[in-house]
Structure 1
Amino acid sequence: MTQPPHDERTAASPEELREQVEQTREELGRTVHALTAKTDVKARAQEKAAEVKQQAAVKAGELRAKAADVAHQVQDKVQDKVPDPVKDKAAEAAGQARATAARAGQVWEEKAPEPVRRKAAGAARTARDNRAWLPAALAGAAVVWLACRRRKG
């Protein structure tokens, strides 16, 4: 047998000895559990993958917000550069498009089968929910138009 460490006293009675043995077992169990966890490569890899996935989701959210901010800044700059006649023409075209869409919607309601109308309504909701990109697209189209016009002239 080995000698107990100098800082631990020896058991004076069988009860104390049992208690020390039980404490030693618990400590040994915790140590074995900790070592097992460290050597479980699959579990550690899964934990690391979950951590990286969480970090990627956070970064993606940050990038999405930054992209939206940049898009708004570009839209504001383009709006300042587009001449008033172009803005007027764009507004007029948008009005005509709305009128045509209203007429097409009436014809659609009269002629389209019910299942098709339901799917189209869902697509329209999605488009309405994401219409923040429409002004940016129109501004981009105006910039392209201006660039082509200047190149010809």
Structure 2
Amino acid sequence: MSMFLPPFEGRLSRRQYWIGNLILIGFGLLAAGILIVAFIVSGGVLAEERSTGEKQLSMALVIAILIPWSALVVKRTKDLDFPLWTVAICLGAVVLDLLMDLAGVRYLSGLSGWFAAILFVLNVVWSVGVLGFVRGTAGPNRHGPDPLVPA
């Protein structure tokens, strides 16, 4: 569980990163399912345009997942010995995507929608392709011991 929590110290292997992401995805799907059922039971109708309450609940769910996901990204980036400004770009893209969603910007509609879509794709490529598949620095680095070497 320490992989999800601040302080953002230490390194994560690819396996730990994937396990952490699968746990967060499972939690997110379960929470989203509960929110959808609760909304339907309360008499709401799932519509094309979401109400302010739906947007606020969605935002709360994303923020609840964003903190542990940030810990995964930071620790995995440290394992790769990449500069931490790469994490700022990754998390900044997620925050920008959330703000654009709150503002009602749709993907692929207008310049801002295309911008959001491109940022989303680049973030997925980084989070999955680089953090998920590139082997970390062999041996210890400035962020700690190799997570693949038994202590």
Scaled by the length of structure 1, the TM-score of the pair is 0.28
For the pair shown, which has the larger CA radius of gyration, 1 or 2? 1
Report the structure, 1 or 2, having the larger helix content.
1
Scaled by the length of structure 2, the TM-score of the pair is 0.28
